[in-house]
Amino acid sequence: MHDVLVIGAGTAGLTAAIYARRASKSVLVLEARGFGGQILNTPAIWNYPAEPGISGFDFAMKLYSQAETLGAEFAFGTASGFRAEDGGFTVPTADAEYRGRSLIIATGTSHRGLGLPGEEALTGRGVSFCATCDGALYKGRDVAVVGGGNTAVSDALYLSDLAATVWLIHRRDSFRADPADVALLGRKENIRLLLGTRVTGLVAEDKLSAVVLTGPEGRTSELPVAGLFIAVGMVPATGAFEGLLELDPSGYIVAGEDCRTSVPGVFAAGDGRTKDVRQLVTAAADGAVAATAAVRYVNSL
Ligand code: NAP
C-alpha cells in the first residue's frame, strides 16, 4: 500500500507527487492516457510564472521527470471509483487494483463536444479537439475553430501559422479569453472572425468538408473547411466518483482551497474540483496543498 495514491498525472497530480515524495511518502500515480494532462494541448504557455512561452509538452515532460526523479511510481489504468477498506483506499481499474493510505483525485476535465450529429464519427476525420496535435495535418488548408475562451483563441493563433485561413466562430459578440490574447487576433491577416454565429451542422462524406453555420439573424449557410477544431470548454472527468463523494450539480468534486473532500483521507486537486480559477498555476498550487494535507492525514493514522 502506498502512502499517497494519486489519480491523474496532469499538473495537479504530478505536483502532488513531487510534494509527497519530498515529504518522504511513497507515491503511486495512476494515469489513464499519457503524462501531462490537458496542458499537453497548449502550444505555448504565457501565464505560468518564470516560464514564459514554454510549450505545454515541454512543461509536462519537465514536470513528469521531476516527479520520477524524486521516486514517484507510475501505473497506467482508468480508475473506476474507490473503496474505503482496511485503513486505506482501494482503486480498481480494468486490470488491477491499487491501494493508498490516502487518495488524491486529480482527474481534471475532458473536452466538451458540440453534440452535433456525426461529431463523434468525424473526430480524427476533420473534427479535432487538439490544435497542437492535429494542426500540422491542415497545412495550407482552410480550418475553423469554434469557441470564445482561452483555448479557442490560442488555437486560432497557433493554427494561423499553418492553415491558409482560420475562421474563428463564436456564438457571442465578444470573447471571454484573456484580452491580451484577443488583441493578437487582429494582427493575423488570415484569422477571420464570425461572431454571433453557431456551428449547427457538419457536412461530410468520408471526411469533413464544410460546417453549417447559423448566423445572428438565424440564417444558415455552409462554410467549406477541411478541419473543425472544437474548443467550447471542458466537463469534469469525475463520473467514476459519482455517489462516492460529494459532487456539485455540474459534476465537480466539492472541495475548498484546502482540497478536502467530503470523505476524510480523500483530497481533490486541480480543475476537477469546485473553484473559481482553473489555470495551470492553480492546478500546481492544488497539487501542493492536497499533498501536504494527505501527508498530514497519513501521519495522523
Ligand atoms: P471556457 O473558458 O469555458 O470557454 C468555452 C467557450 O466555448 C466559451 O466562449 C463558450 O461560450 C463557448 N461554448 C460553450 N459551449 C458552447 C456550445 N455548445 N456551442 C458554442 N460555444 C460554446 O473553455 P476553455 O477556453 O477551454 O478554457 C477552459 C479553462 O482553461 C478556462 O479556465 C481557461 O482560462 C483555461 N485555459 C487557460 C489557458 C492558459 O492559462 N494559458 C489556456 C487554455 C485554457 P460563452 O462565452 O458564450 O459561454
**Given 3, 58, 95, 130, which residue is catalytic?**
130
Look up 134 and say whether it is catalytic: yes
**Given 58, 86, 95, 133, which residue is catalytic?**
133
pLDDT digits (tens, 9 = 90+) for 110-155: 999 999 999 999 999 999 999 988 999 999 999 999 999 999 999 9
Q: Which protein residue's CA is at the shortest distance from atom 4 of ligand 1?
A: 149
Same fold, 2-110+234-300 and 113-230: yes
Q: How far apart are CA 211 and CA 225, in angstroms?
A: 7
Angle in degrees, CA 238, 243, 246, rounded to 5: 70
Predicted TM-score of the model (pTM): 0.83
3-class secondary-structure state, position 168: strand
Q: Does any ligand 1 atom lie closer than 6 A to the CB of residue 236?
A: no
Q: What is the mean pLDDT of the chain?
A: 96
Query: Is residue 44 scored above 90 in pLDDT?
Result: no
pLDDT digits (tens, 9 = 90+) for 165-192: 999 999 999 999 999 999 999 999 999 9
Class of domain 2-110+234-300: alpha beta
For residue 111, how far is its CA from the centre of ligand 1 (angstroms)? 10
Q: Which residues pair with 221 in a beta bridge?
A: 213
CATH, domain 113-230, list 3.50.50.60, 1.10.20.60, 2.40.40.20, 3.60.21.10 = 3.50.50.60
Q: What percent of the chain has pLDDT over 70?
A: 100
pLDDT digits (tens, 9 = 90+) for 187-233: 999 999 999 999 999 999 999 999 999 999 999 999 999 999 999 99
For residue 151, how far is its CA from the centre of ligand 1 (angstroms)? 6
Q: Any idea where the domains of the chain sit in the sequence? A: 2-110+234-300, 113-230
Look up 130 and say whether it is catalytic: yes
The pLDDT of residue 41 is 81
